Structures are given as structure tokens and as C-alpha cells.
Amino acid sequence: MKLIEAKAPYEECKRELLKLEKRWLHRARTRTQHLAVRRIIASTLLTEAYGSNMPWSEFGRWLRRIQRLDFNDLGMRVHVACLYVQSLQLFPRQAREAWNMLEDAERRALRLRRERPLRQEHLDAIAHAKKVARIPRPFPR
């Protein structure tokens, strides 16, 4: 966390986070704990890749890892989809996939009961991502 707060270079953060993942995985006792550790590290690295304007080779690596591990909750799904759409100016070829992911997250958020506090929080995050996205939604094929 100190590296992230100190705005250390991406490569340094990545190296330290992967070391931390290794230590945490060594301590994890169950498959569920292993998955949780991998998801947390992958999500953090994706966020750092986004903040560092990393190319698709790096951003896509962590995105694919999170997708393989599956999202543990709607909050993570919304977060990842928002980052994906907001980073499309770096890799516009991924626009269709990114916008589909954001729309899927929005459909899931809309299915939450209106009284759930996170519902509006998720919808606000999605609306913000749509507003600031530099690459528009591609037309359907």
C-alpha cells in the first residue's frame, strides 16, 4: 500500500504485489482463500495498469486473469468494466467487448432492489464511465 500511496512506478508496484500474492497464497488454506487472494491482486494490478496508462499487453493480461478467476461480486464487475471502457483510447479495438461488459454490469446492477444502497452507487459509477469514455459505443453488427 505504501508503494501505491507513494505513486511508485507501475513495474515496482507490480513486482511487490506479486511477492505479496506469493506470501498470501502460501498462508491460504482453502481454495476459496486462494481465489480471493488472486482476485484481490489481479484487481489491484488492473487498477494500477489503468492508472499508469499501460498498453493492452499489460492491461489485458490482468483483465483476462480476473475474468478467468470470475468476479466475486458485482462491485468488482462494475469496477473492472468501468476501467475497461475508460481506457479504450489506448486500445480502441477492444471497444465492442468493453462496452458489452459495461452493459452487462449495468443490467446486473439494475436487477438489484431499489432500496439496496449499492445499486445507486454502481449505477453512478457506470454513468460516470459512460460520460468520460473517449471511445463511443460501436454500432451493433
Pair (64, 82) in one structural domain: no
70's grid cell: 470470475
Pair (57, 117) in one structural domain: no
Pair (9, 64) in one structural domain: yes
Q: In angstroms, rounded to a whole number, what is the distance separating the alpha carbons of residues 89 and 104?
A: 21
Pair (18, 42) in one structural domain: yes
Pair (9, 60) in one structural domain: yes
* pLDDT tens digits, 86-114: 999 999 999 999 999 999 999 999 999 99
Pair (66, 1) in one structural domain: yes
Where does a domain end: 42, 72, 102? 72
pTM: 0.92
State the residue range of the domain holding 113.
73-141
Pair (93, 126) in one structural domain: yes
Where does a domain end: 72, 103, 122? 72
Q: State whether residue 70 is helix, strand or coil.
A: coil
Domain count across the chain: 2
Long-range CB pairs of 33-41 (<8 Å, 24+ gap) are: 35/69, 35/72, 36/72, 38/65, 38/69, 39/66, 39/69, 39/71, 39/72, 39/76, 41/17
List for the chain the helix, strand, coil content (%; round to 5).
75, 0, 25
* pLDDT tens digits, 4-58: 677 789 999 999 999 999 999 999 999 999 999 999 999 999 999 999 999 999 9
